[in-house]
Amino acid sequence: MKTGFTHLFIPGPTNIPEDVRQSMNVPMQDMRAPDFGDLTKPLFAGLKRVFKTKTGRVFMYPSSGTGAWEAAITNTLNPGDKVLMSRFGQFSHLWVDMAERLGLDVHVIECEWGTGVPLEEYAKVLEADKAHKIKAVFATQNETATGVSSDIAGVRRVLDAAGHPAMLFVDGVSSIGSIDFRMDEWGVDLAVAGSQKGFMLPAGLSMLGVSQRALEDSKTATMKRCYFDFVDMMKVNDDGYFPYTPPTQLFHGLKTSLARIEREGLENVFARHYRLAEGVRRAVSAWGLRLCAAEPKWHSDTVSAIVVPESIDAREVISAGYRNYNISFGTGLSKVMGKVFRIGHLGDLNEGMCLTALSLAEMSLRDAGYEVELGSGVAAAQGWYRESHEAAQLRQ
Ligand code: PLP
């Protein structure tokens, strides 16, 4: 029999803070009641602050993040439109796959898994596209499968340097609300997020930031859409209503999670994610292992994908953790299955929780046959957490 906590260290769904969980435990209510907007309107405003958009708007769909990927494409593009994308992990792959299945003409740049959005290649393709045939450029800000973060401000710079008018689509499912993201400043037209990552909620709510430019383009976009149509949303959203039954409980949870984020302060949330992630990275080095992220510039502050030696199957590490120590680590997906295990470090987390994960990871690695020195990674992370905690205190 399992006793105590089951530790959840996958990169989403993440731990739900107790106050967020309790706030969802409310009776059902009428989503057409005259005061329903009192609950929902502040959520749109709160999400705009997290997305850092004053000029755009944010839609909420009762779907997982994948739904907002589809909403972004079908509302703003036409069948056969040329778009520029890059593939360097399972989630960037799935967005490419969706774009192709929806009938876009996708120029895909294939990249090593462990790298991210290839700015130089994007620059070359955009410079060469003098006729501006490319209608949209896509970027996965945080590739959850490999633990790689990309430079979205850099993509904007590349577009501007080429004088290219393409729209900028960003997948921020495992970054928005946890890693720096600036929709207006970076000129992002479509920004996708999901409830079960940095927003610390169950899955089931996707959020889509949409710029005025994208709203304008949606008026003439001919791709078929129904459930996700911006027009249906806009008809009722301003008064706080939805064109279909919304997930009211998730809205209550979101109200509490947005309040938590605001209380901590968005910049402090980012700083905490960096500090916790850096402890994990130091532990990985102390174990004599490496990250899938090929260079520090690709390091993700929300998830670390840890490469195990060839003689070991990473699935054994995950299964030992689950069977023996009540902890869930993220598995390797697709190309990196068996080669990496992932530690998700996003959402409601602190040093103690990360140290538990690292300590159980050491035991699981040993159980799977890797002779890691027990305590080595934990000690490295402890050192960093103490040192960085002191530095953070001094700054206050
Ligand atoms: N994009 C990224 C970067 C993700 O990590 C995920 C899910 O983990 C998705 C998209 C898909 O989101 P969902 O599973 O909520 O549909």
> Average pLDDT in the 138-155 region?
98
Residues with CB under 6 A from ligand 1: 12, 64-66, 91, 140, 142, 144, 171, 173-174, 194, 203
CA of 299 to the centre of ligand 1 (A): 18
Model confidence band, residue 356 (pLDDT cutoffs 50, 70, 90): very high
Q: Is the Cβ–Cβ distance between 56 and 48 less than 8 Å? A: yes
DSSP 245-295: ---HHHHHHHHHHHHHHHHH-HHHHHHHHHHHHHHHHHHHHHTT-EESSSS
The CATH number assigned to the domain with range 18-262 reads 3.40.640.10
Residue ranges, comma separated, of all CATH 3.40.640.10 domains in the chain are 18-262
Residue ranges, comma separated, of all CATH 3.90.1150.10 domains in the chain are 7-13+265-395
Q: Among 73, 173, 250, 334, which residue has the most ligand 1 atoms within 8 Å of its CB, making it the best to mutate?
A: 173
pLDDT, tens only, 17-58: 999 999 999 999 999 999 999 999 999 999 999 999 999 999
CA of 45 to the centre of ligand 1 (A): 23
Does the structure show a pLDDT above 70 at 85? yes
pLDDT, tens only, 290-329: 999 999 999 999 999 999 999 999 999 999 999 999 999 9
The CATH number assigned to the domain with range 7-13+265-395 reads 3.90.1150.10
CA of 69 to the centre of ligand 1 (A): 9
- Decide: residue 203, CB within 10 A, 0-12 exposed, 13-18 middle, 19+ buried: middle
> Average pLDDT in the 348-364 region?
98
CA of 372 to the centre of ligand 1 (A): 32
Torsion of CA 175, 180, 183, 187, to 10 degrees: -110
pLDDT, tens only, 97-136: 999 999 999 999 999 999 999 999 999 999 999 999 999 9
Global pTM reads 0.98
List the one residue out of 197, 190, 103, 99 whose CA is nearest residue 142: 197
Model confidence band, residue 204 (pLDDT cutoffs 50, 70, 90): very high
The residue whose CA has the least distance to atom 5 of ligand 1 is 144
